[in-house]
Structure 1
């Protein structure tokens, strides 16, 4: 159900807008601190900073219990922070204001929000869109809302390797080292789906139909498409192709295709479905992990069940009217 969107005059100058900043998002990316711009254009907004150990849900839930709860929930951060706030916006029936402050900002770019100024323009213009999302359930855990994609296999394991080195090497250098390790040591994993077992390099479950030439569907191309676009990369090729398949930008993927490094279409099974259910089997000593919108989740060793279900019109999001959802 669509959230009630306040008239632009109601939220003029940020009145009734809660914005939570995650200062740890996109730490490897040089960017201008948005505090001055927010203070200038939205001086009446309630701006909070997510401190070490703070929980986003606690901040939002406390604000919603106040005598004058916010009419709009905003977040400055990366895709993980945006997805967590989207879940809270859905819970409290509030529109979501996305201010890109992460490394890639996949969802914000899909909504045509390229920077904080563009986000404020959308708020002031009252321009919104109803966004489909996916509910992700691992084993018997409570479902998690994701806006872009869920994946298992090569990409989550690469993120796991990167995060182990992040404190010492930083995000970018840690990522390079992780990719090098993956090129030398990546192994397929087993999934069971509809009673059938398969060996795969990766599975990507994207929200909305995406470019059929890509395997990694981490940036969506349609905000309201109520379908899941699943890419199962069967383990028939080399480790090099397994890592190359993680390219999510159109230009990068095109170059890798021209160099014949991407897997052939026969290795990638595509499904367009409303829900997807699989059991993941991992070998002893291998990480039992999955990723949703860049956030790594660890499971018990040996494997887990993962169920993804599309949620049409899950959250109302401020977006540019001529939003460009193309991937870079």
Structure 2
């Protein structure tokens, strides 16, 4: 459904004291999202995940590379001719509180895109048909239409708001949903319901899913049977089958992310120590060699000699960009499997 080839995005800004700043948000990202498939991107804040999601929905442009949607390469198309392709890809935003207009009811929020879609497809765009379709979508996402349609966003819980956001995305019959930290602002008790809904939409409607998160556990749950891409400073440093990456991470950055999973007191299993980056992320510097080397617990001179590229090595199932690839099973992974 989507094929990204060497996508790059660089931001440049002039500081208040005359100093220019360049941030390379994406550094040659490649991935393929099959129809009905799932791809997850995980990484800490500021690694380029959301930028990628915005590029795929047409909200951001890209500097270089190729973006192919359903076999059509978009680089040579005008903005107007790109629009129908981007409309097939809808984003579920991180913050359901700001994603909905507080002055419009749920019926109004769903009604406008449904009428627009009816005009495009020749469906009945009358008030009764639009309201019936809105009710159908709300039932699909697990909400009671009678109790939700007349309400304003402030009258809904966080979980209900996010379900309305998903229903709004479904009004234009999308073929791809991009979930950008879709549960990070939802109460913990509501998260599993939203994640299960995303899995069901993929299974029942054949919708492709690109899941953006910093939470390895949610990526593993939603992206079952798909691919997991670990992104650091705009560069994919490890990718492969979701379970393969989670169960035997190769790159130290992936291992640090997995090691950050909370360990429940009283259930800690014997195993290696938690892996913690040696320093905070500093986007102002561009280190030689591996981008993660200044923070890596295992870095040596070979790591700074040259920038490693994504590839496979003997005995390792997934692709990685590491000079010293070593599969490790950290305590948190053992615990997540036990729990």
The TM-score, its normalising length taken from structure 1, stands at: 0.29
Of structures 1 and 2, the one with the larger relative CO (CA 8 A, separation 6+) is 1
* Larger fraction in strand: 1
Task: Return the index of the structure with the highest Cα Rg.
Answer: 2
The TM-score, its normalising length taken from structure 2, stands at: 0.28
